[in-house]
Amino acid sequence: MVFRICGLILLTAAYCPVYAQTQAWTLWASGLPTGVYPRMVVAPNHDIFYALLGAGTNLGYVYRANTLEDSGQFEAMPQIPRPASIQNNIVALGYNKLSEPLVGIYRTDLSEPWLFRYDQQSMQWDTAIADATPTLGGHCMATSPDGTIYVGARWAYIYKSTDDGATFHVIDESASVAGAYPCYYPSWNGSDSDGAIFSINIDKQGRVYAGTETAGVIYSDDQGAHWQPADAFACVPGDPEQYDTMSPMLALALGGNIGAVGFTKEDNLVWSGPDMWKLGWRNKMGYCDLVDGSVMELEGLPDYLVQTGQQVSKIVTTSNGRMFFHSGSSNGAEAIGIYTSTDGMHWTLFNDGITGQNDGFSKGSLAVDGNRVFMATHDGKVWMYDDSLTQTTEPSSDIEAYRLTALPNPATNSISFSDGVNQAIIWSELVLYNGCGMVLSHILHSDESSSFLGIDDLVSGYYFVSLRGNDDLLYYSSFVKI
């Protein structure tokens, strides 16, 4: 049984939210065109837009309904002016603050358009103007509360619009990262840039995150003017040319094809694409506590369910803080479909009520409007779950966990722990983790307790501990071994 506090495992009763009523998805709309990889987004006026990345017929169409309707009544909008060299159908789907949809496509002729905005006044699609041209086109979009629009392209760069999608300015985010953090390139896979941008999302504080093809997760705190690695310890202190291989947040950089970036209610990060093989994880899905800098693989997923970064392409969060993603599919994968979490770390399968074709071809459609979540199966059906109808409560328990100070810190041979009033903590059980959240040792003192932890055998780096005191309370701490 485990309980997670700040990314650490504490030995106690399992964390199991209690739900006030049975949870299930309900059919909200049907009869939409069938295809593969549906796309959906919800605009500020509650209009919900639907499109398909791959469709056999009726290409170039976006369909519109409104989430305030008891059941979705989708209508086709005018067809986008599809260029001759278009690949697939609609890849990226977004909106502006006027609740007008935007569409990004792939095309192979660089002289042809790749980004379109619907003009509600003229009721037609206009070609968006950009000061650079990607090789294929627009892959993902995100719109901030102030209306700034970001488009991730393949290949390459991020594009930004401040005029509702009429024009876009190119941002060379790789050059921005390299200028401030020269250690970051070549990336872990040897790339001199981050390649394509496969996901963009914006947290409640306005921080813009981008999931890259070859260089993990990066972000900007100033609307795209400057970018930095999500790995806050990327470079060795005092040597910006040298990557810190002992960074506790290494998993954020050690990966690629980051198909999805999402946030907990507290704005902690959940993302796809960390290198599970090098990290020793069982899925390419990670959680990062941005307060204490810890990372861990998600719990509750079947082993080897998510084996590629782009297998998951959308993570959404309700106003209540409940998170959702679609697993996509991999060879031999079971339990495919929607997974949900209330803390970003512990996930459960949640396909209840969905009777449509909910397989790997239905990934990427999740959209959220407040506490209402929508997903589309590729057989032309849209399903809705209302999180406001389900109240979650914590188990009735007096169990708490307390943070301790490690002394000394940094340390070389041994450490002890003290509480907030400098009282030494005597412990009977301790679990030690490395910076990637992997358990290194589990120490039990059956007949006697200890106040010290020997660390002579540890390599230099960042470590976490969780422990049980002689008072039977649970504690956690962290330290640096030098």
Neighbours of 97 (CB within 10 A): 17
Q: Is residue 87 part of a domain?
A: yes
- For residue 227, what are the contacts with CB-CB under 8 A and spacing of at least 6? 171, 173, 176, 177, 210, 218, 219, 220
Number of domains in the chain: 2
Which of 371, 393, 415 terminates a domain? The answer is: 393
DSSP strand pairing (401-403 vs 474-481) = parallel
131 to each of 91, 95, 97, 152, 157, how far by Cα in Å? 21, 20, 22, 14, 12
Q: What angle do CA 245, 246, 250 make, to 5 degrees?
A: 75
Are 358 and 365 within 8 A, CB to CB?
Answer: no
345, 215: one domain: yes
CATH code (residue 331)? 2.130.10.10
Q: What's residue 447's pLDDT?
A: 55
- For residue 179, what are the contacts with CB-CB under 8 A and spacing of at least 6? none
Which of 393, 420, 435 terminates a domain? The answer is: 393
Domain of 446, in residue numbers: 401-481
Sole residue written with tokens 């040319």: 241
Q: Is residue 11 part of a domain?
A: no
326, 180: one domain: yes
150, 122: one domain: yes
Average pLDDT, the chain: 88
Which of 393, 413, 439 terminates a domain? The answer is: 393
**CA atoms within a 13 Å half-sphere pointing along the CA-CB vector of 367:** 28
- For residue 63, what are the contacts with CB-CB under 8 A and spacing of at least 6? 32, 33, 49, 50, 51, 74, 75, 76, 77
Q: Is residue 13 part of a domain?
A: no
The amino acid sitting at 335 is A
Q: What angle do CA 439, 444, 446 make, to 5 degrees?
A: 170
386, 412: one domain: no
Q: Is residue 6 part of a domain?
A: no
Q: What angle do CA 180, 463, 254 make, to 5 degrees?
A: 45
385, 407: one domain: no
Q: Is residue 154 part of a domain?
A: yes
452, 386: one domain: no
How much is the CA Rg of the chain, to the nearest whole Å?
A: 24
Question: For residue 168, how far is the Cα from the chain centroid?
Answer: 25
- For residue 101, what are the contacts with CB-CB under 8 A and spacing of at least 6? 41, 43, 49, 62, 64, 77, 93, 94, 95, 117, 118
Neighbours of 205 (CB within 10 A): 8
Residues 261 and 142: their CA atoms lie apart, in Å, by: 11
Phi/psi region, residue 421 (left: phi>0; alpha: psi -120 to 50; beta: rest), is: alpha
375, 427: one domain: no
Residue ranges of alpha helices (H) inside 63-180 are: 173-180
464, 430: one domain: yes
pTM: 0.78
Q: What's residue 106's pLDDT?
A: 97
Residues 415 and 463: their CA atoms lie apart, in Å, by: 12
DSSP strand pairing (315-317 vs 294-297) = unpaired
472, 354: one domain: no
449, 332: one domain: no
227, 311: one domain: yes
- 199-249 pLDDT, tens digit per residue, is 999 999 999 999 999 999 999 999 999 999 999 999 998 899 998 988 999
Residues 138 and 150: their CA atoms lie apart, in Å, by: 10
Q: Is residue 3 part of a domain?
A: no
Burial 267-278 (b: 16+ CB within 10 A, else e): ebbbbbbbbbee
> In the chain, which residues have pLDDT < 70?
1-22, 389-401, 420, 435-438, 445-449
280, 165: one domain: yes
